[in-house]
Amino acid sequence: MSLQETINLLIKNRRSTYPPQFDSNKTIDDAIIWQILENANHAPTHKKTEPWRFVVFKGEGLKKLAQFQADLYKEKNTGDKFNENTYQKLLSNPLKASHIIAIGMKRHEGIPEIEEIEAVACAVQNIYLSITAYEIGGYWGSGGVTYYPEAKSFFGLGDDDKLLGFFYLGHIAKESPESQRKPIQEKVTWVE
């Protein structure tokens, strides 16, 4: 298979796999996680700021993340805003993963924020393509405590930085359905 065919196949087969689809009895080797992060590190970045910041949770760290998220959610959502089901998911879903990568964006003066966010998104796409190649599952979610400013310090982020979500990783127990995309021709305008 040519390199072009390989990359086309990887992109076409990229899927999001969610915690209920993971085999929670299997752990991904840390060396694979490091290689995935190394691949993420080669994303394009304006002015070479490399704004992506990652915090990796595994083992007991998953329990710490779960408890932190659940506690902060409960603190921020009192009375009618509190949802017990959401609280329980925040406690249990991280424990279904092998690893969770918190995705942060470090701000750099003089660079438009959107360009830094776009660079991090490119790094995450490299993660997606890498896990597809390794035949492991994962997804980028922005739920939980992602948009709570109070969460930033837990992940080593400053006031101007952003928490952009979490990438859950695990061995696949249940495959995701094939992607159903509309034809690209419906989304492209050619100007000649």
CA angle 36, 43, 54 (to 5 degrees): 55
- pLDDT for the residue 180: 85
- pLDDT for the residue 187: 96
Rg of the chain taking only CA atoms, in angstroms: 18
- pLDDT for the residue 175: 80
Sketch out the chain's domains with CATH numbers: 13-175 (3.40.109.10)
- Secondary structure, 3-state, the chain: CCHHHHHHHHHHHCCCCCHHHECCCCCCCHHHHHHHHHHHCCCCCHHHCCCEEEEEEECHHHHHHHHHHHHHHHHHCCHHHCCHHHHHHHHHHHHHCCEEEEEEECCCCCCCHHHHHHHHHHHHHHHHHHHHHHCCEEEEECCCCCCCHHHHHHHCCCCCCEEEEEEEEECECCCCCCCCCCCHHHHCCCCC
For each successive 10 residues of the chain (192 residues), what is the average pLDDT? 94 94 96 98 96 98 98 95 95 97 97 97 98 97 94 97 98 85 94 97
Q: Which residues contact 96 (CB under 8 A, 6 or more apart)?
A: 19, 20, 22, 24, 168, 170
pTM tops 0.85 = yes
- pLDDT for the residue 139: 97
Residue with tokens 């959107």: 114
